[in-house]
Amino acid sequence: MAEKPVFDKKNVLVTGGAGFIGSHLCEALLKTSRVICLDNFMTSQESNIDHLLKNPDFEFIRHDISVPFDPEAFPELARFKVKFQGIQEIYHLACPTSAKKFDQYMMQTLYANSIGIKNSLDLAVRYQSKFLQASTSVVYGPRPVDGHQFKEEEYGAVDVLSPRACYDEGKRFAETSCVTYQNVHKVDARIARIFRTYGPRMPLFDGQMIPDFITNALDGKELEIFGDESFRTSLIYVTDVVDGLIKLMGVAQNPGPMNLGSDVDVPLVDVANRIMEMTGSTSSIVFKDSLMFITQLGLPDLTKSKEKLGWIPLVTLDDGLKRTIDYTIANKSLLSFKAF
């Protein structure tokens, strides 16, 4: 089948585009492309994309990707000429990500990682689109005892019967779906394994810790760590992740699964103390029971992403925290987590 013509700009579909990472991705893609953003606001917020709505190359459709989506059925997408041009790229980010309300969205999480990935891949087949699945570091399983960094060829180990399995094993199934569609339908499906990410537009009061650290430090309240003094993690700033996603989609040859994260291991206590220093706070740190969705994870081996994508994280932790603090101060009243 002949390729559909690309007019002045590519058409790009982003599922979960009003989410934390998705909204930053949409913003970056608008520099070169027309963007169709799908989201149902389950764990995201309209305020994340308010600044994009007036852009003529951006269109938001409130839709649950667990229900089939036909872009040609929406009059508001007529200017995208999808019937004639198609959709050149699809980024599938849609999946509930609420730490404190994880148990409330277990079925929706299951659907996003099964029915949602199917519907998204079916669109890629229909329009011969390049496809990118936003996977996660949890496909590798828990932090390894020996502390080694995860390479992409590792199989990982996940408890398929745990309460988290709808997310952890769900993401593994989504990767399998990508490979199967690639083998059967020749979809160019790329897989990004994203490690713990932070930055502006993360929801507050949802257990994600970094935005809550900042808000509580500004308000003189206790900074809550959901774990003990030994809790360690890697943290990558959101714009670095977006840069990696776009680079992964853009390389000519599909390189296979790709780690996108920081390989620097930091104690969460140190991060909390640094935030208090940067905000001039006199708050204290307290330790709470662990949350099911917020656990200690392993670190990525970035050799492949450096060699295949020419990608490395560029934003230092101090710089990223400063940007996040500045954003939180400016937008604090808009950031409260809402369940739609």
* Structure confidence by residue, pLDDT tens digits, 87-130: 999 999 999 987 778 889 999 999 999 999 999 999 999 999 99
Q: CA torsion angle for 103, 108, 112, 118 (degrees, to 10)?
A: 140
Domain residue spans in the chain? 10-201+235-262+294-314
Q: What is the pLDDT of residue 84?
A: 94
Mean pLDDT of 224-246: 94
Q: Are 275 and 209 in contact (CB under 8 A)?
A: no
Secondary structure E strands in 145-184: none
Q: Which of 29, 38, 26 is nearest to 10 (CA)?
A: 29
Mean pLDDT for the chain?
92
Over residues 288-308, the pLDDT tens digits come to 888 766 777 899 999 999 999
pTM of the predicted protein model: 0.93
Backbone dihedral angles phi then psi of residue 199, each to the nearest 5 degrees: 145, -175
Q: Are 158 and 172 in contact (CB under 8 A)?
A: yes
Does the annotation count 127 as an active-site position? no
Over residues 8-67, the pLDDT tens digits come to 899 999 999 999 999 999 999 999 999 999 999 988 889 999 999 999 999 999 999 999
Per annotation, catalytic residue among 167, 181, 198, 237:
167
Element (H, E) at 285: strand 285-288
Rg (alpha carbons) of the chain, rounded to whole number: 19
Tokens coding 58:
């951006």
Q: Which of 320, 268, 270 is nearest to 290 (CA)?
A: 268
Q: Are 122 and 13 in contact (CB under 8 A)?
A: no
- Quickly count: other Cβ atoms within 10 Å of residue 184's Cβ: 9
Q: Which CATH architecture has domain 10-201+235-262+294-314?
A: 3-Layer(aba) Sandwich (3.40)
- Residue 340 pLDDT class (50, 70, 90 cuts): very low
Q: Which residue's entry shows tokens 């009003």?
A: 18
The residues facing 89 across adjacent strands are: 12, 130
- Residue 330 pLDDT class (50, 70, 90 cuts): confident
Above pLDDT 70, what percent of the chain? Answer: 94
* CA 44 to the chain's CA centroid: 11
Q: Which residue's entry shows tokens 């667990």?
A: 66
Q: Are 60 and 39 in contact (CB under 8 A)?
A: yes
Q: Are 254 and 188 in contact (CB under 8 A)?
A: yes
Q: Which residue's entry shows tokens 């970035």?
A: 302
In 72-97, which positions are buried (b, 16+ CB within 10 angstroms) versus exposed (e)?
Answer: eeeeebeebebeebbbbbbbbbbbbb
Q: Are 58 and 50 in contact (CB under 8 A)?
A: no
